[in-house]
């Protein structure tokens, strides 16, 4: 049975969502107004190329009808509801118009959820991106210098399972990875212990647009934000100028701290992944996907 929200109810939820989104993006918007860059937080708006305005747009989720919502009749992937001027985000319409994307997201979420987490990578993907490199993707000094960074990579087994990290490895680092990764087999390797698989839940939530409740979207953004900090704390860069305290994964203590946080993020990601699948594919119209 579908849920129907009276106008005063969904407007209140929309306003609460917008206030929460504005609070989450306030610092970024202030920096952007000054054209000020940040090596940690800009990633959430550049690599994930979504603007704060997209994050603050609230949707009720697939199959939830908004009563008295004529202003949304023209919104993409909304269809007429059962009440006058009512509208509903339509999972079947999305699947019809975006069949390839719908299939990709479904595979990525379900297959990742089906696997146990792996916790032995220690965030070395960032180290592999600068291994034996004369030039680096980020104009930030290396905490251990180039030689020290290279020694850390050479002393470890690279176990990256995330293609969108692996594709930035230096040519010298690529053959050091335990498994060669390609775009075509991405869904075969993705696993819930990976920090980037957790961050990508934000991407998948945004790509699903109105099929995902706004509250769930912001939960996914908060997870991506929290993971991003650990990702950079464990990276080889010296980010002390931005008050980032390193998690030195080249030490036993640093590894233990990394894995402790990694496991916590994996648990949060597992819950969010299940919520995304339920919100999107738990509706009768989407059962065929």
Which pLDDT tens digits describe the chain residue by residue (289 residues)?
A: 468 999 999 999 999 999 999 999 999 999 999 999 999 999 999 999 899 999 999 999 999 999 999 999 999 999 999 988 999 999 999 999 999 999 999 999 999 999 999 999 999 999 999 999 987 777 899 999 999 999 999 999 999 999 999 999 999 999 999 999 999 999 999 999 999 999 999 999 999 999 999 999 999 999 999 999 999 999 999 999 999 999 999 999 999 999 999 999 999 999 999 999 999 987 654 444 5
Which DSSP helix (H) or strand (E) runs through 182?
none
Task: Decide if 117 contacts 162 (C-beta within 8 A).
Answer: no
Q: In whole angstroms, give the CA distance from residue 40 to residue 232.
A: 7
Decide: 272 and 208 in contact? Cβ < 8 Å. no
- Secondary structure (3-state) at 79: strand
Give dist(CA 194, CA 277) in Å, integer: 19
Own/partner long-range contacts of 70-79 (Cβ < 8 Å, ≥24 apart): 75/210, 76/209, 76/210, 77/209, 77/210, 77/211, 78/210
The model carries a pTM of 0.94
Report the chain's terminal Cα–Cα distance, integer Å. Answer: 19
Q: Can you give the length of the chain in residues?
A: 289
Sequence-ordered list of residues with C-beta below 8 angstroms from that of 85, at least 6 positions apart, any chain: 67, 68, 69, 70, 73
């Amino acid at each position: 049975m579908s849920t129907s929200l009276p106008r005063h109810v969904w407007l209140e939820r929309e306003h609460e969502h917008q206030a929460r989104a504005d609070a989450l993006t306030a610092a970024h918007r202030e920096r952007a107004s000054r054209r000020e860059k940040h090596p940690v937080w800009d990633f959430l708006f550049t690599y994930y190329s979504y603007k704060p305005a997209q994050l603050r747009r609230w949707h009720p989720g697939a199959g939830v009808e908004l009563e008295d919502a004529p202003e949304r009749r023209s919104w993409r992937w909304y269809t007429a509801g059962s009440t006058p001027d009512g509208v509903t985000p339509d999972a079947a319409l999305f699947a019809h118009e975006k069949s390839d994307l719908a299939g990709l997201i479904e595979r990525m979420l379900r297959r990742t959820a089906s696997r146990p987490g792996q916790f032995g990578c220690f965030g070395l993907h960032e180290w592999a991106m600068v291994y034996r490199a004369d030039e680096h993707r980020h104009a930030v000094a290396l905490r251990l210098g180039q030689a020290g960074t290279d020694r850390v990579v050479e002393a470890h087994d690279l176990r990256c399972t995330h293609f969108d990290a692996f594709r930035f490895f230096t040519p010298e680092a690529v053959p050091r990875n335990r498994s060669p990764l390609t775009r075509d087999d991405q869904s075969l390797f993705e696993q819930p212990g990976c920090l980037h698989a957790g961050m990508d839940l934000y991407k998948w939530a945004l790509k699903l647009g109105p099929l995902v409740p706004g509250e769930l979207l912001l939960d996914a953004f908060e997870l991506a934000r929290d993971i991003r900090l650990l990702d950079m704390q464990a990276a080889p860069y010296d980010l002390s100028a931005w008050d980032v305290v390193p998690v030195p994964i080249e030490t036993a203590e640093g590894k233990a701290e990394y894995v402790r946080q990694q496991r916590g993020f994996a648990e949060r990601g597992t819950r969010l992944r299940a919520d995304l699948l339920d919100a999107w594919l738990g509706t009768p119209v989407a059962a065929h996907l």
